[in-house]
């Protein structure tokens, strides 16, 4: 959300004259002649006119100034082109990622390097080496292909190579870059769900809705709390699954929930910061009590 642009030229001549004239009795009680013929009132009106003029000019940016702004960004105005179009081209040019410095820039370049990449993330792996300072650092860029049908999508070697070449040409010369596939942490979920008879949804319908909700929530492309794919390295928490399942229409409550065969664990940690969830098995049993 962009910040609202303040309106600077909201001071009008009449408003300035009225406000200043109302202050005369307070600060100059001996000044009793407030008619336009009075020299003081004439000066007051003159300064109000000048203040309104300056205020109006402050809220206006001439086209020649906008052209200079665009030129600073590397864009020249084409003869006859509207200045808004010139500024638009300048802003679009500033948004182009020419160098990979931050983690977001690595991810943005990776997503745009080749077709078919839905997600990307960059993490720095630090490895301590004896008698070597500083520690060895490698920027690992994990990419996820756009394959909604695959619960654990893996990029092809060709996709990884193209992304690597794009990053190597834009990263600092001393940076070591690796383009990797996401790790997949296997998760086995089993649950017993009590149906809510008031919703009048049959058991099979409730079971299908629960399975669909869980698979969507843990999905690599459209899952997670924001619906943009499961966050890399984020654990699977029991409390979130309870909230998700009991929010499905037709479910009264969850009687039992097993994560990788355990009923007491609070969650399942993922194997690495570049790991996603791979739902190996999902067993849902729906009963009326």
Write out pLDDT tens, residues 94-117. 766 678 888 888 998 998 888 899
pLDDT of 42 > 80? The answer is: yes
| CATH tag for 103-180 (out of 2.170.270, 3.30.300, 3.30.160, 1.10.260) | 3.30.300
Q: What is the mean pLDDT of residues 63-83?
A: 87
**What is the Cα–Cα distance from 44 to 83, expressed in whole angstroms?**
39
| Over residues 181-202, mean pLDDT | 92
Given a cut of 70, whether residue 131 has pLDDT beyond it is: no
Domains of the chain, by residue range, sit at 13-58, 63-94, 103-180, 184-287
Average of per-residue pLDDT values in the chain: 88
How confident is the model at residue 47, as a pLDDT? 93
Give the pLDDT confidence score for residue 103 in this predicted structure.
87
**pLDDT value for 73:** 82
Name the band, by pLDDT with cuts 50, 70 and 90, for residue 52: confident
Evaluate if residue 167 carries a pLDDT over 50. Answer: yes
**Is the per-residue pLDDT at 130 higher than 70?**
no
Q: How confident is the model at residue 62 (pLDDT cuts 50, 70, 90)?
A: confident
pLDDT tens digits, 214-270: 999 999 999 998 888 999 999 999 999 999 999 999 999 999 999 999 988 899 999
Residue 203's CB is within 10 A of a number of other CB atoms, namely 15
- The yes-or-no verdict on residue 3 having pLDDT over 60 is no
Q: Is the pLDDT of residue 1 over 50?
A: no
**Residue 173: predicted pLDDT:** 84
Lowest mean pLDDT among 3-17, 93-107, 188-202: 3-17
């Amino acid at each position: 959300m962009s910040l609202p642009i303040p309106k600077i030229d909201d001071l009008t001549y009449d408003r300035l004259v009225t406000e200043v004239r109302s202050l005369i009795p307070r600060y100059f009680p001996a000044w009793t002649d407030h008619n336009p013929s009075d020299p003081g009132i004439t000066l007051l009106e003159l300064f109000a006119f000048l203040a309104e003029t300056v205020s109006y000019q402050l809220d206006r940016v001439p086209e020649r100034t906008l052209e200079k702004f665009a030129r600073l960004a590397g864009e020249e105005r084409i003869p006859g082109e509207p200045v808004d179009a010139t500024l638009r081209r300048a802003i679009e040019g500033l948004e182009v990622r020419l160098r990979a410095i931050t983690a977001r820039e690595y991810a943005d370049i990776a997503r745009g390097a080749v077709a078919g990449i839905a997600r990307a993330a960059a993490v720095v792996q630090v490895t301590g080496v004896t008698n070597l300072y500083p520690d060895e650092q490698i920027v690992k860029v994990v990419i996820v292909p756009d394959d909604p049908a695959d619960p654990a999508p893996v990029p092809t070697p060709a996709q990884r190579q193209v992304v690597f070449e794009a990053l190597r040409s834009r990263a600092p010369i001393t940076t070591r870059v690796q383009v990797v596939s996401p790790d997949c942490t296997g998760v086995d979920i089993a649950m017993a769900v009590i149906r809510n008879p008031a919703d009048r949804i049959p058991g099979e319908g409730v079971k299908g809705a629960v399975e669909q909700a869980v698979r969507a929530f843990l999905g690599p492309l459209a899952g997670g709390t924001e619906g943009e794919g499961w966050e890399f390295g984020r654990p699977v928490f029991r409390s979130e699954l309870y909230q998700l399942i009991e929010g499905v229409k037709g479910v009264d409550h969850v009687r039992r929930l097993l994560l990788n065969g355990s009923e007491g664990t609070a969650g399942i940690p993922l194997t690495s910061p570049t790991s996603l969830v791979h739902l190996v098995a999902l067993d849902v049993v729906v009963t009326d009590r």
